[in-house]
Amino acid sequence: MSDIFKLVAKRLGLGLVTLFVVSILIFFAVELLPGDIAQAVLGQGATEETVARLRERMGLNDPAIMRYLNWLGGALQGDFGVSLISGTSVTEAITQRFLNTLFLAAYAAVIAVPFAIILGVLVALMRDTLFDRAANVLTLTSISSPEFFLGYVLILYLSVKTGWFPAISSLSPGMGFGELLERTFLPALTLVLVVTAHMMRMTRAAIINLLASPYIEMARLKGMPPWKVIVKHALPNAWAPIINVVALNLAYLITGVVLVEVVFVYPGIGQLLVDAVSKRDFPIVQACCLIFAATFILLNLAADVGSILTNPRLRHPK
């Protein structure tokens, strides 16, 4: 058990170091932008006095290292500063948007994860059949298609031509849960089509790889049904790679939704990031990027821990 804690602590330490390096890159990437940030925010028509006041408010007169340390210290306390456009707290502006993104990711994950695992087991059972070939073609097509293209195709056929679902995912505070599911179905389905393909193919590969193992052959020789061989013997030993790819795709559902949210005008953190970039609202841009990085690192850590707990060989690498 102590070995597991050591491995988890090591992964956690590497994740914190990675997040620290990413925070440096995020902050100084904004610093490297050409021109005066205050002038860029206010526009060419701003007076020198207005620019000077904004520079003072943003702390641009301080050394870059001091501004980074102040920003990092505030971020560790949940304070990302103040929006340059609205004047409200960045944390307040991001919180509801991030919750919307988490809801969309959870909505897609609830559909995609069980569907992908079941489909992966089925195509492994029916390997080299017409069903297996058709599933591979469809998943390769889904993987090769950009998210925005899939989104526009779904809008065309499920919204414009049939009118089944709204093309724009506009949310309001008083809507019911059923209406919320209906309005967010198309962006969730877009994410499902993208991540299901990866998870299904990984599940299929893991199961097929284990089917050649001696203990699987012994189970078959005993007359055990094929489905029972996979469910009882192959699937438990394939959890490590499956958990890994599921966690990575969950990370994508949260950090890779920018294009999907823009296509469906979904009020999530990805849409907020795009709006902040277009308006040069740099505190919100920095906060969104840091949250994306922290989420991705955290879910990667969860994938590593899940793989370690489900695979004894990873707990004893020697």
For residue 92, what pLDDT is reported? 86
Residues present in the chain in total: 318
- What is the CATH number that goes with domain 103-268? 1.10.3720.10
Average pLDDT over residues 67-71: 83
Boundaries of every domain in the chain: 103-268
Q: Give the residue, 12 or 154, on which the prediction is more confident.
A: 154
Element (H, E) at 241: helix 239-255
**pTM to 2 decimals?**
0.81
Q: Are the C-beta atoms of 170 and 159 separated by less than 8 Å?
A: no
Q: Residue 219 corresponds to which amino acid?
A: A
| 3-state secondary structure at position 82 | strand
Average pLDDT over residues 41-45: 67
Q: If you ran DSSP here, which 8-state letter would residue 258 be given?
A: H
Average pLDDT over residues 256-273: 86
Q: What is the pLDDT of residues 122-140, one digit of tens each?
A: 888 788 788 888 888 888 8
Residue 43 has pLDDT above 70, yes or no: no
In which band, very low, low, confident or very high, does the pLDDT at 183 lie, cut at 50, 70 and 90?
A: confident
Share of the chain above pLDDT 70, in %: 88
On the 0-12 / 13-18 / 19+ scale of CB atoms within 10 A, 134 is exposed
Which residue's structure tokens are 């948007």?
Answer: 97
Tokens read off for 57 = 């408010």
